[in-house]
């Protein structure tokens, strides 16, 4: 066996080994993703006691068998929350046949200030398909933890406070299955495609 053939075999072995490692890494990551994925919305939503911005119980029936975009935030948020709600509302209008084809669920992480009246006044500025959700802080924490949402209170001046929180949007199909996420600042074309795909799922 000459040197050229030995080099070829060695190079081929390295490439094949690299491909195998990539495939195994992908499969392992997929396994972890599925293992750590949130419970079905339909399984967790009726285990918590929350209300919508109209004071009605936030239950599986609230979703009306429609896909949903779930976002956690607070009404005193200076940029991320209002921008996200405005963008989602506008994009759902563009990519769906009806403005109400997809729910946008805004769960407050600041129930002390965001009672149902305050939340109702807030969400009306963003679209008719937005459902504001509030309730007891223990129940909100329980619901947020299902989605791996991080949040913390940060004290500011004049005895006031703000929140640091996860800015991810969770996509849920009409059966309550978790279908992926939308990141803060994600390319608009990518967001439109994701929402368009979500609205087409049966």
pLDDT in tens, 16-33: 776 776 555 544 434 434
The span from the CA of 111 to the CA of 71, in Å, is 15
Q: What is the pTM of this model?
A: 0.78
Residue range 67-87: mean pLDDT, rounded? 93
Q: Which of 181, 3, 184 is nearest to 77 (CA)?
A: 184
Q: Which residue has the higher pLDDT, 181 or 199?
A: 181
Question: How crowded is residue 151: how many other Cβ atoms within 10 Å of its Cβ?
Answer: 16
**What is the per-residue pLDDT for 159?**
82
| Lowest-confidence segment of 10-19, 163-172, 189-198 by average pLDDT | 10-19
- CA Rg, the chain, in Å? 22
Q: Average of pLDDT values for 159-188?
A: 89
Q: How many residues does the chain have?
A: 202
- Burial of 74: CB neighbours in 10 Å, binned 0-12, 13-18, 19+: buried
* pLDDT tens, position by position, 33-48: 444 455 677 778 888 9
Using DSSP's 3-state secondary structure scheme, residue 68 falls into: strand
How much is the average pLDDT of 122-132? 89
pLDDT at 31: 41
């Amino acid at each position: 066996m000459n040197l050229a053939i030995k080099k070829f075999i060695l190079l081929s072995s390295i490439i094949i080994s690299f491909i195998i490692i990539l495939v195994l890494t992908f499969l392992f990551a997929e396994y972890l993703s599925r293992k750590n994925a949130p419970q079905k919305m339909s399984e967790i939503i009726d285990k918590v006691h929350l209300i919508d911005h109209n004071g009605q119980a936030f239950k599986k029936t609230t979703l009306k068998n429609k896909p949903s975009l779930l976002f956690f935030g607070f009404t005193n948020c200076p940029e991320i929350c209002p921008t996200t709600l405005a963008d989602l509302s506008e994009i759902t209008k563009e990519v769906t046949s009806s403005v109400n084809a997809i729910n946008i669920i805004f769960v407050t992480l600041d129930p002390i200030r965001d009672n149902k009246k305050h939340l109702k006044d807030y969400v009306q500025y963003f679209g008719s398909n937005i459902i504001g959700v509030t309730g007891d802080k223990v129940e909100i924490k329980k619901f947020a933890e299902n989605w791996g949402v991080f949040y913390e209170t940060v004290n500011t001046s004049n005895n006031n406070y703000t929140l640091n929180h996860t800015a991810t949007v969770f996509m849920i199909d009409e059966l309550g299955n978790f279908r992926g996420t939308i990141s803060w600042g994600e390319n608009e074309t990518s967001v439109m495609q994701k929402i368009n795909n979500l609205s087409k799922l049966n």
